[in-house]
Structure 1
Amino acid sequence: MKTLSIRFNNIAWDNAGTLMFPADFNESKKYPAVVTMHPIGSCKEQTAGNVYGKALAEAGFVVLNFDASFQGESGGAPRYIENPYQRVDDVRYAIDYLVTLPYVDENRIGILGVCGGGAYSLNIAMTERRIKAVVSITGVNFGRLLRDGFAGGAPLDVLDKVAGQRSFEAKGGDLLTINMLPESVEAGKAAGIKDIDVLEATDYYKTSRGHAPGGATSAVYSRLSTGMGWDAFHLCETLLTQPILVVIGDKPGGFGAYRDGYEVVRRAASIQKELLAIEGYSHYDLYDQSDPTGQALAKVIPFFQSNL
């Protein structure tokens, strides 16, 4: 498969991306395109790119995998900011880039995201009408996740601590960057963690299974207040009208993709909307395990072929 490293302009920095092309790519033809969005704390080389993006390119799509602003090889400082508003706005700039490519059909652009990227993909489609079809793979509403305790406590307590840390940094104090996962599965279990999502995330990101240099699993603590007040599904009853395919595993974990999947399909205004719950698998099985990702792609590829 042919790939090409690219950069596209954002507000005041560049985003790094990789274009993937079908094996029989002909620059004189027009192709449907799919943008992929990586998970929270991830990068373009991981699941959204090397599993789903690769399969879509092999199926005949031009695919743009890119690193979020402040993450991976993309620009923006300080590093490791997870800002949902910027994350979804990144997609507008990615599409601005795609529509300049002579071999991309600007009327056939879709988006696929994994984990936080799945909910981000559903959210950006509400206001980015150049997106014609959306796939969410085990999508997680980042704002709901933070409010449910992933930020380290009750929402108002966390917001008070974040406010104090931000003032400290504004006065010259050191930036606080937190790691969102334990250092190893063993360390997590020793600390009393039992949730399958946290432990399986650690197995994916902290071992050779899924580790990539750009996948830092880190976040700037003083910037978490932005995500705390965000809701991926706000206004989906009115604005989310494109065809959507939401894929989840039927083994629920603490990150909440199972409940979020059912919620967005129930609420979305889309006439064509489908929930695929893959039996016997968890959130992180859908990142890279051959059977559940194969089941997902058996739906994803025809979905994009029909709607792009």
Structure 2
Amino acid sequence: MRSVTFKNKTWDVAANLHVPNDFDETQKYPAIVVAHPISSCKEQTAAIYASRLAELGYVALAFDASTQGTSGGLGQYLEDPATRVEDFRCAADYLVTLDFVDEDRIGVLGICGGGGYAVNAAMTERRFKAVGTIVGANYGRLAREGDLSPDAALKAMEAISAQRTAEARGAETALTTYIPQSKAQLESYGIKDVDVVEAVDYYTTPRGQQPGSPNKLNVTSTGAAFNWDAFHLADKLLTQPLQVIVGGGQTGAFGSYRDGFDLFNRARSEKKNILVVPEATHYDLYDKPDCVDEAMKKLEVFYGENL
């Protein structure tokens, strides 16, 4: 694995380049861009899948989203769809400068929110020849649903607008957290949803905890998501081969199971497949060995046939 950077506009995007064990810079390799979940970083589940892809003979580029992890950007902890999608195009720009990458065999794999961004990027980034998602989630849908009350999105946008006004007048930048900060806090809130419970277990314990994933979110940056749809125009523009992987176990608030089927049904791709991993939850597919193995069996065939 090599630590590298590439540019998005004026700042550096931090990435890890995973290469095959018998890597030879004089040869040409297919490459796959691997995108981490929302609130995550390149050292977590993205690293697991990138390293497994490298074992199969791919050059795999796992990167920190702009303003997150150790990447630069205009601000910190922003979750802005336009910037997230542009990161993918810049990743492709970087890969085509590497002599050992076959520019005609570049694919993309996104996990959770990174899956939604990967799909959205691939619609216009035609250098991506094959698109894979692991529990891919549509961040725009998540923002709009909020607490599921009829006017949740409208109330949230009003609050975001008020906060922008405050910050324009000199108030400190508002930061929040994605999930409870600990299992004890989770229990005090009485939250039982499987996705939230497992998110706390993954992100706040040694299971998946990493310095680049501090559970922080710039509040006003979320405003850009409310009228954004990761799969908008997939019925017209998403034509690349598509592999969707979701968990078939208990489903929770993040909605990746239904997003997976929504994507599969909307995609124009003539060659598309959806794999439901039996009994797997959303977070099982992040790092549980048997679930990752099941996903990788499918991805090995999929990228092998299409890259």
1:1-55 residue CA offsets vs partner (Å, 9 max, x unmatched): xx11111111121101111110111111100000000000110001012x10000
Distance in 2 (alpha carbons) for counterparts of 1:89 and 1:179: 24
Q: Secondary structure at the match of 1:209?
A: coil
Residue equivalent to 2:12: 14
Residue equivalent to 2:267: 268
Given candidates 169, 172, 181, the residue that maps to 2:170 is 172
Q: Secondary structure at the match of 1:109?
A: strand
Q: Secondary structure at the match of 1:117?
A: helix
Pairing 1:71–2:68 present? yes
Q: Secondary structure at the match of 1:201?
A: helix
Distance in 2 (alpha carbons) for counterparts of 1:21 and 1:223: 34
Residue equivalent to 1:37: 35
Distance in 1 (alpha carbons) for counterparts of 2:279 and 2:2: 36
Distance in 2 (alpha carbons) for counterparts of 1:77 and 1:41: 17
Deviation at 1:288, TM superposition (A): 0.2
Distance in 2 (alpha carbons) for counterparts of 1:128 and 1:209: 34
Distance in 2 (alpha carbons) for counterparts of 1:243 and 1:129: 12
**How does 1:121-200 map onto structure 2 within 5 Å?**
121-149=118-146, 154-200=152-198
1:56 aligned partner, one-letter code = L
Distance 1:107 1:151, change over 3 A: farther
Q: Secondary structure at the match of 1:110?
A: strand
Matched-pair identity in %: 49
Structure 2 unaligned blocks of 5 or more:
none
Distance in 2 (alpha carbons) for counterparts of 1:161 and 1:151: 17
Deviation at 1:305, TM superposition (A): 1.1
Q: Secondary structure at the match of 1:118?
A: helix
Residue equivalent to 1:205: 203
Deviation at 1:150, TM superposition (A): 6.1
Residue equivalent to 1:116: 113
Deviation at 1:184, TM superposition (A): 1.5
Q: Secondary structure at the match of 1:34?
A: strand
Which moved further from structure 2: 127-136 or 153-162? 153-162
Deviation at 1:189, TM superposition (A): 2.5
Distance in 2 (alpha carbons) for counterparts of 1:301 and 1:248: 16
Q: Is the 8 A contact 1:20 1:62 kept in 2?
A: yes
1:202-246 residue CA offsets vs partner (Å, 9 max, x unmatched): 100000000010012221111111011110010000000000111
Aligned length: 305
1:113 aligned partner, one-letter code = G
Which moved further from structure 2: 183-192 or 10-19? 183-192
Q: Is the 8 A contact 1:247 1:277 kept in 2?
A: yes
Residue equivalent to 1:214: 212
Distance in 1 (alpha carbons) for counterparts of 2:105 and 2:196: 36
Structure 1 length normalisation: TM-score?
A: 0.97
Structure 2 length normalisation: TM-score?
A: 0.97
Distance 1:222 1:24, change over 3 A: same
Residue equivalent to 2:226: 228
Residue equivalent to 1:248: 246
What RMSD over aligned residues (CA atoms) do the two structures have, in Å? 1.3
1:134-161 residue CA offsets vs partner (Å, 9 max, x unmatched): 1100011001011111699800000000
Distance 1:16 1:150, change over 3 A: farther
Q: Secondary structure at the match of 2:146?
A: helix
Residue equivalent to 2:292: 293
1:195 aligned partner, one-letter code = D
Q: Is the 8 A contact 1:79 1:220 kept in 2?
A: yes
1:61-117 residue CA offsets vs partner (Å, 9 max, x unmatched): 001111100000100132100011110111111110100000000000000011000
Q: Is the 8 A contact 1:83 1:226 kept in 2?
A: yes
